[in-house]
């Protein structure tokens, strides 16, 4: 197995040896959402390719390094870049960095992603707090916890009934309110990618009750919950998913996803910083 305790501990030891911080909050940032890293005070920067067994990201726009430092009075560990299922990693491998966070003593995980809206009335640049998810790869067998269970990480059959922590969500709502940021709330459905959805798939996913669709986040959240961490998730709407064959002019591109991410990043960054300040 790629994610055994031994491997996790080797990676954790490397991180411990290269930082003087003891982070209690983990941040995983999605496409184009990296600007927050620059706000960390006294940062220790650890490239993924120097950490034993750490998955390496291969996508343009996802540079790979841990940035560990102080943000708004709290010690945080930020993943600058993440790996995805469509790159060829298993969902368990995607969860490996979260296991390292768990070993480091991280108790709160905040994940962000870029997502396509399944709701035609939402627009690029909107932010959505994730209230729940649909784990399509997991439901079809690609579950990050499939295989032997290490009880020292968490239970064999972990609950996912409140995967996204209601108290953290309340903190986020208050912070958004104070900053005058409109926050949508809804359900994130994970698909494997890398192709964007066909119009028929968009209509199918909408019929499941999901509000947005993306290609990340869920494996990390499942592993974090298995390990007893509490989770906050935010989606940045980068595009409205195309649900009709006639709308060829509005085809979704990776470039569009990155551009909207970069434009909305400052708003999302100050939201997260505000939440972290309230937790510190």
Residues annotated as catalytic are 31, 62, 84, 86-87, 114, 215-216, 239, 254
Nearest CA to 188 out of 270, 93, 115, 103 is that of 115
111 binds ligand HPA (CB under 6 A): no
Contacting ligand HPA (CB under 6 A), which of 215, 234, 258, 276? 215
Nearer to ligand HPA, 84 or 225 (CB): 84
Candidates 44-52, 123-131, 166-174, 236-244; binding stretch for ligand HPA (CB under 6 A): 236-244
CB 118, min distance to ligand HPA, A: 9
Structure-token pair, residue 102: 């768990």
Q: In the complex with ligand HPA, which residue's Cβ is closer, 10 or 259?
A: 259
Alpha-carbon distances of 66 from 4, 35, 46, 224, rounded to whole Å? 21, 14, 5, 17
Is residue 272 within 8 A of residue 232, CB to CB? The reply is no
b/e burial code for range 166-195 (CB count within 10 A of at least 16 → b): eebbebbeebbeeeeeebbebbbbbbebee
The residue at minimum Cβ distance from ligand HPA is 116
Instruction: Check binding of 239 to ligand HPA (CB under 6 A).
Output: yes
Nearer to ligand HPA, 93 or 239 (CB): 239
Burial of 119 (0-12, 13-18, 19+ CB in 10 A): middle
Query: In 3-state terms, what secondary structure has residue 113?
Result: strand
Minimum CB distance to ligand HPA smaller for 31 or for 75: 31
Binding segment (CB under 6 A) for ligand HPA, from list 19-27, 47-55, 112-120, 157-165 = 112-120
Q: What character string, x for contact with ligand HPA (CB under 6 A) and - otherwise, covers 174-213?
A: ----------------------xx---------------x
Contact with ligand HPA (CB under 6 A) among 238, 265, 268, 276? 238
Q: Is 58 exposed, middle or buried (0-12, 13-18, 19+ CB in 10 A)?
A: middle
Cα four-point dihedral sign 113, 258, 24, 83: positive
257 scored as a contact of ligand HPA (CB under 6 A): yes
4 vs 250 by CB, closer to ligand HPA: 250
* Residue 155 preceded by cis peptide, ω within 30: no
Q: Min. distance of Cβ 92 from ligand HPA in angstroms?
A: 21
Query: Strand, helix or coil at 249?
Result: helix
User: Which residues of this protein are in contact with ligand HPA, per CB under 6 A?
Assistant: 114-116, 196-197, 213-215, 238-239, 241, 252, 257
């Amino acid at each position: 197995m790629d994610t055994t305790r031994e491997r996790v501990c080797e990676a954790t030891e490397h991180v411990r040896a290269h930082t003087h911080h003891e982070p209690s909050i983990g941040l995983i940032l999605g496409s184009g959402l990296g600007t927050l890293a620059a706000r960390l005070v006294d940062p220790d920067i650890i490239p993924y390719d120097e950490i034993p067994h750490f998955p390496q990201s291969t996508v343009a726009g996802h540079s790979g390094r841990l940035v560990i430092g102080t943000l708004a009075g709290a010690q945080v560990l930020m993943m600058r870049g993440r790996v995805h299922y469509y790159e060829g990693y298993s969902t368990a491998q995607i969860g490996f960095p979260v296991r390292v966070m768990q070993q480091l003593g991280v108790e709160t995980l905040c994940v962000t992603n870029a997502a396509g809206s399944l709701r035609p009335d939402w627009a690029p640049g909107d932010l959505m707090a994730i209230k729940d998810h649909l784990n399509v790869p997991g439901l079809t067998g690609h579950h990050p916890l499939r295989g032997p269970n290490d009880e020292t990480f968490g239970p064999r059959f972990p609950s996912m009934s409140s995967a996204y922590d209601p108290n953290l969500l309340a903190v986020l709502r208050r912070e958004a309110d104070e900053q005058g940021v409109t926050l949508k709330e809804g359900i994130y459905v994970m698909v494997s990618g890398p192709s964007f959805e066909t119009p028929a798939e968009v209509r199918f996913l909408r019929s499941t009750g999901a509000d947005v669709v993306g290609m990340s986040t869920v494996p990390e959240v499942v592993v974090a919950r298995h390990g007893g961490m509490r989770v906050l998730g935010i989606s940045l709407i980068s595009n409205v998913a195309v649900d009709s064959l006639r709308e060829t002019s509005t085809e979704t591109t990776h470039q569009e996803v990155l551009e909207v991410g970069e434009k909305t990043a400052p708003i999302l960054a100050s939201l997260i910083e505000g939440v972290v300040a309230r937790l510190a």
